[in-house]
Amino acid sequence: MTACSRFFRATRLGAPLAMLALAATLSGCGEKENPLTGESSVAKLWQAGLDEMKDENYGTAAKIFDAVEQQHPYSVWATRAQLMSAYADYQGLRYDDAIDALTRFIELHPGNPHVDYAYYMRAICYYEQIADIRRDQRASQQAYEGFNEVIRRFPETAYARDASFKLDLTRDHLAAKEMDVGRYYEREGNYIAAVNRFKTVVDRFQTTSHVPEALERLVECYLELGLKSEAQKSAAVLGFNYPNSDYYKQAYGLMTPGAEITHPEDKGVITRVWDSLFY
For the whole model, what pTM was predicted?
Answer: 0.67
Phi first, then psi: give them for residue 111, nearest 5 degrees. -100, 5
Three-point CA angle 165, 181, 164, nearest 5°: 10
* Torsion angle defined by CA atoms of residues 127, 128, 133 and 138, in that order, rounded to the nearest 10 degrees: -50
Question: How many angstroms separate the CA atoms of 118 and 110, rounded?
Answer: 10
258: left (phi over 0), alpha (psi -120 to 50) or beta: left
Residue 97 identity (one-letter amino acid): D
* Separation of alpha carbons 156 and 142, rounded Å: 22
The dihedral sign for the CA sequence 61, 67, 73, 77 = negative
Q: Residue 198: name the closest of 226, 177, 173 by CA.
A: 177
Phi, psi of 124 (to 5 degrees): -65, -40
Helices (H), the chain: 3-8, 15-23, 42-54, 58-71, 76-91, 95-108, 115-127, 138-153, 158-187, 191-204, 211-224, 228-241, 246-254, 270-278
Contact 143, 130 (CB under 8 A): yes
What are the per-10-residue average pLDDT scores of the chain (279 residues)? 35 50 45 58 85 91 89 85 94 94 94 94 91 68 93 94 90 90 94 96 91 95 93 92 90 69 42 45
- The reported pLDDT for the residue numbered 138 is 83
d(CA 129, CA 210): 22
Q: Do 170 and 140 contact (CB within 8 A), yes or no?
A: yes
Among 128, 129, 134, 105, which Cα is nearest to 118's?
105
Grouping H, G, I as helix, E, B as strand and the rest as coil, residue 142 is helix
Q: How many residues does the chain have?
A: 279
The predicted pLDDT at position 68 comes to 86
Please tell me the predicted confidence (pLDDT) of residue 87.
95
Quote the pLDDT of residue 124: 94
pLDDT at residue 77, as a whole number: 87
**b/e map 188-201, b = 16+ CB within 10 Å:** eeebebbbebbbbb
* Domain boundary assignment for the chain: 1-92, 93-173, 189-279
- pLDDT score for 173: 87
Could you tell me which CATH number the domain at 93-173 has?
1.25.40.10
- Looking at residue 71, its pLDDT comes to 86
